[in-house]
């Protein structure tokens, strides 16, 4: 009885088994990362996460997006789109890590119940159980792989089988430390204790994990440098040209966001942990459906059409009031209206279904296209080719609607005879997705005060107002519960961009709350009633409170 009790006390617990599984799963992720960056093999965590986002209920995805944006803003973690993408990638890695740990704990319990028999065999069985779903994802819908499906599938399944075999043997070895000696000869064999085993295993897997990450990042750095060199250090339009409103009399208040958003700071929101990689040499815009005959266009062929240059402000429907998921730059492409005659559409065609390389899609009415030459297929931003993150080689711009209805990485256009809900509309978001009028306080420039004509100290307050293609006619600012005072408006870059506003407030020390509101071009007021971003876009007035 005493011997049995001592045996149970010495028997490794679930914590030890989970530590072994966590260490080996982390090493597996490191190996996957290295293979992805160096050889273009599938990276299972990102592929799995992307697959989950496409099959989970739309309301759940919307809830997750809302919580993520709220947390990022509340904690002031940085640019929302960049932090959100990092968080998505971290969650993707965590999902695979947790799956590996759970599987490892189950394996450990089975091995403990069977007194450590058949460790490798049971481990390989676990590798098959987790590897086959991952293999199927990489075979049919990998967004990370650049190798062929067969090579990717073999890599994924092989890595999981090796992981399972090593995990089974490691947990079996862990259990052997608590087993009774079976022969006298066993006492002559030097055996390390359980703690030393865990430390050695942890050190080895840490080396593999870190090495995989470092080698992968070095490979990615070289790739980015090669891409940069291939573009010939192309000069951006904004580097050598003045903005069209450079001579406008109203200047932004100090601290107002850049009127023209640098490409590095333009937000990026999409359904992918990493952007799709499109090979321009093989890329063709496929035109199918209700056309006289299927067509294809290369990017140079599209660029032969008369170029259309437009300054555009684009915003995300997930942007909260006062959020940073909005940006302005110069778009270059061709008017979709001008392309229509060459598509040779059949009379029954009423809509164009536009699909992306990441399976995102949206449907646009031909009546809308025929009525608005500003709808464009875009291939350049700020005078340089679209980056991979922002839709290379082709994306669409549709005035007055949020980015959720504007596909990037376009690969096909299908002419159809009906309307149908787009990707996000199917998941519960607005079918209209029209941009709401919004105004934002960017700065209360206390340290940049000016002296007004009345010799009073005035503090510049400024920000932006935007109402899509409908324009802004007036912006007003209120301090505490005082009257609404009219702000000055800077001439916008174009009718499609935000308007920069400024108000010089007569300074008064104390605690103050500043609130802003705007009016559309036709005089319609901004919606003051607060509402969340989902499903129609956020509304409400933006305020800043501070002690002066």
What pLDDT is stored for residue 174 in this prediction?
A: 83
- Establish how many alpha carbons lie within 13 A of residue 176's alpha carbon, considering only the half-sphere containing its beta carbon: 15
Helix (H, G, I), strand (E, B) or coil at 433: coil
- Is residue 535 a contact partner of residue 429, using CB atoms and an 8 Å limit? yes
Residue range 378-387: mean pLDDT, rounded: 96
Does residue 75 surpass a pLDDT of 80?
Answer: yes
Report the C-alpha gap between 507 and 340 in whole angstroms: 57
Does residue 184 surpass a pLDDT of 60?
Answer: no
- Is residue 326 a contact partner of residue 313, using CB atoms and an 8 Å limit? yes
CB atoms within 10 A of CB 109: 13
Report the C-alpha gap between 428 and 420 in whole angstroms: 13
Does residue 143 surpass a pLDDT of 90?
Answer: no
- CATH, range 266-416: 3.90.420.10
What pLDDT is stored for residue 245 in this prediction?
A: 97
Residue range 96-115: mean pLDDT, rounded: 92
Report the C-alpha gap between 339 and 124 in whole angstroms: 56
What pLDDT is stored for residue 187 in this prediction?
A: 41
Quick one: residue 118, left, alpha or beta (phi over 0 = left, psi -120 to 50 = alpha)?
left
Between 195-204, 263-272, 327-336, 484-493, the lowest mean confidence (pLDDT) is in: 195-204
Residue range 142-164: mean pLDDT, rounded: 92
What pLDDT is stored for residue 224 in this prediction?
A: 66
- Is residue 11 a contact partner of residue 178, using CB atoms and an 8 Å limit? yes
Residue range 350-361: mean pLDDT, rounded: 95
* 326 closest CA partner among 375, 266, 388, 382: 266
Q: How confident is the model at residue 448 (pLDDT cuts 50, 70, 90)?
A: confident
- Is residue 518 a contact partner of residue 489, using CB atoms and an 8 Å limit? no
Report the Cα–Cα distance between both ends of the chain, in Å, rounded.
76
Residue range 473-501: mean pLDDT, rounded: 97
Q: Is residue 535 reached through a cis peptide bond, with omega within 30 degrees of 0 on the bond before it?
A: yes
Does residue 3 surpass a pLDDT of 60?
Answer: no
Residue 281 tokens read as 């040499």
Residue range 117-143: mean pLDDT, rounded: 90
Comparing 200 with 520, the larger pLDDT belongs to 520
Q: How confident is the model at residue 231 (pLDDT cuts 50, 70, 90)?
A: very low
Sheet strands (E) in 239-338: 285-289, 295-297, 308-315, 326-335
Does residue 190 surpass a pLDDT of 60?
Answer: no
Report the C-alpha gap between 489 and 485 in whole angstroms: 13
Between 26-35, 114-123, 320-329, the lowest mean confidence (pLDDT) is in: 114-123
Q: How confident is the model at residue 254 (pLDDT cuts 50, 70, 90)?
A: very high
- Is residue 18 a contact partner of residue 105, using CB atoms and an 8 Å limit? yes
Between 44-48, 55-59, 353-357, the lowest mean confidence (pLDDT) is in: 55-59
SS3 per-residue string spanning 331-349: EEEEEHHHHHHHHCECCCC
Mean pLDDT over each residue of the chain, to the nearest integer = 90
- Establish how many alpha carbons lie within 13 A of residue 69's alpha carbon, considering only the half-sphere containing its beta carbon: 23
Residue range 409-422: mean pLDDT, rounded: 97
Task: Choose the CATH number for 438-547 among 2.60.40.650, 3.20.20.220, 1.10.287.130, 3.40.50.720.
Answer: 2.60.40.650
Q: What pLDDT digit, counting tens, does each position of 24-56 carry?
A: 999 999 999 999 999 999 999 999 999 998 888
- Is residue 321 a contact partner of residue 540, using CB atoms and an 8 Å limit? yes
* 364 closest CA partner among 378, 373, 353: 353
Residue range 495-523: mean pLDDT, rounded: 96
Residue 547 tokens read as 């002690």
Q: What pLDDT digit, counting tens, does each position of 132-142 carry?
A: 999 999 888 78
Does residue 182 surpass a pLDDT of 60?
Answer: no
Report the C-alpha gap between 491 and 472 in whole angstroms: 10
User: Residue 170, Cα to own-chain centre: how many angstroms?
Assistant: 38
Does residue 180 surpass a pLDDT of 90?
Answer: no
Between 86-95, 152-161, 446-455, 464-473, the lowest mean confidence (pLDDT) is in: 446-455
- Is residue 37 a contact partner of residue 219, using CB atoms and an 8 Å limit? yes
pTM of the model: 0.87
* 384 closest CA partner among 543, 237, 169, 531: 237
Which residue's entry shows tokens 């940049």?
448
Q: Which percentage of the chain shows pLDDT scores above 70?
A: 91
Per domain, the residue ranges of the chain are 2-181+190-226, 266-416, 438-547
What pLDDT is stored for residue 383 in this prediction?
A: 96
Report the C-alpha gap between 312 and 329 in whole angstroms: 6
What pLDDT is stored for residue 216 in this prediction?
A: 79
Residue range 474-496: mean pLDDT, rounded: 97
Residue 225 tokens read as 């440098």
With the C-alpha atoms ordered 321, 325, 327, 332, is the resulting torsion angle positive or negative? negative
Residue 528 tokens read as 């003051």
Residue range 168-173: mean pLDDT, rounded: 89
């Amino acid at each position: 009885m005493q011997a049995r009790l001592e045996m149970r006390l010495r028997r490794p617990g679930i914590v030890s088994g989970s530590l072994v599984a966590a260490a080996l799963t982390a090493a597996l992720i490191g190996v996957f990362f290295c293979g992805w960056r160096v050889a273009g093999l599938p990276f299972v965590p990102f592929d799995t996460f992307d697959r989950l986002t496409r099959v989970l209920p739309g309301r759940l995805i919307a809830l997750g997006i809302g919580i993520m944006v709220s947390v990022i803003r509340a904690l002031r973690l940085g640019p929302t789109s960049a932090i959100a993408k990092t968080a998505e990638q971290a969650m993707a890695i965590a999902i695979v890590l947790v799956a590996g740990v759970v599987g490892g704990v189950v394996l450990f319990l089975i091995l403990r119940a069977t007194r450590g028999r058949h460790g490798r065999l049971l481990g390989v069985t676990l590798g098959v159980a987790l590897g086959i779903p991952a293999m199927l994802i990489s075979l049919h819908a990998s967004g990370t792989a650049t190798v062929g499906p067969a090579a990717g599938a073999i890599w994924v399944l092989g890595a999981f089988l090796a992981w399972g075999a090593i995990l089974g043997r490691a947990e079996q070895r862990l259990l052997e430390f608590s087993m009774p000696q079976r022969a006298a000869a066993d006492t002559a064999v030097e055996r390390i204790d359980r703690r030393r085993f865990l430390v050695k295993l942890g050190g080895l897997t840490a080396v593999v994990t870190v090495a995989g990450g470092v080698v992968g990042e070095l490979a990615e750095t070289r790739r980015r440098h090669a891409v940069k060199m291939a573009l010939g250090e192309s000069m951006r339009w904004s580097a050598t040209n003045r903005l069209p409103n450079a001579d406008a009399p109203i200047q932004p208040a100090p601290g107002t966001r850049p009127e023209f958003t640098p490409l590095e700071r333009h937000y990026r929101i999409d359904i992918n942990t990493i952007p799709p990689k499109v090979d321009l040499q093989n890329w063709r815009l496929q035109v199918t459906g209700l056309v006289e005959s299927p067509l294809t266009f290369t990017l140079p062929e599209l660029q032969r059409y008369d170029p259309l240059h437009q300054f555009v402000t684009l915003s995300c429907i997930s942007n909260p009031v006062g959020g940073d998921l909005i940006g302005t730059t110069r778009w270059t492409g061709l008017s979709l209206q001008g392309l229509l005659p060459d598509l040779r559409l059949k009379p029954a065609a009423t809509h164009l279904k536009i699909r992306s390389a990441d399976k995102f899609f949206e449907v646009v009415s031909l009546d809308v296209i025929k009525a608005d030459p500003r709808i464009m297929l875009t291939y350049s931003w700020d005078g340089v080719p679209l980056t991979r993150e922002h839709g290379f080689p082709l994306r669409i711009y549709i005035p007055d609607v949020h980015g959720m209805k504007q596909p990037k990485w376009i690969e096909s256009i299908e002419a159809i005879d009906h309307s149908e809900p787009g990707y996000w509309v199917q998941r519960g978001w607005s079918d209209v997705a029209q941009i709401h009028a919004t105004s934002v306080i960017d700065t209360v420039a206390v340290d940049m005060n000016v002296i007004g004509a009345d010799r009073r100290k005035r503090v510049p307050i400024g920000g932006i107002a935007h109402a899509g293609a409908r324009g802004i006619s007036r912006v007003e600012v209120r301090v505490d519960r005082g009257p609404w005072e009219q702000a000055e408006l800077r001439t916008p870059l174009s009718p499609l961009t935000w308007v920069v506003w400024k108000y010089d407030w007569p300074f008064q020390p104390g605690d103050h709350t500043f609130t802003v509101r705007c009016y559309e071009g036709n005089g319609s007021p901004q919606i003051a009633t607060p509402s969340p971003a989902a499903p129609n876009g956020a509304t409400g007035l933006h305020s800043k409170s501070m002690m002066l």
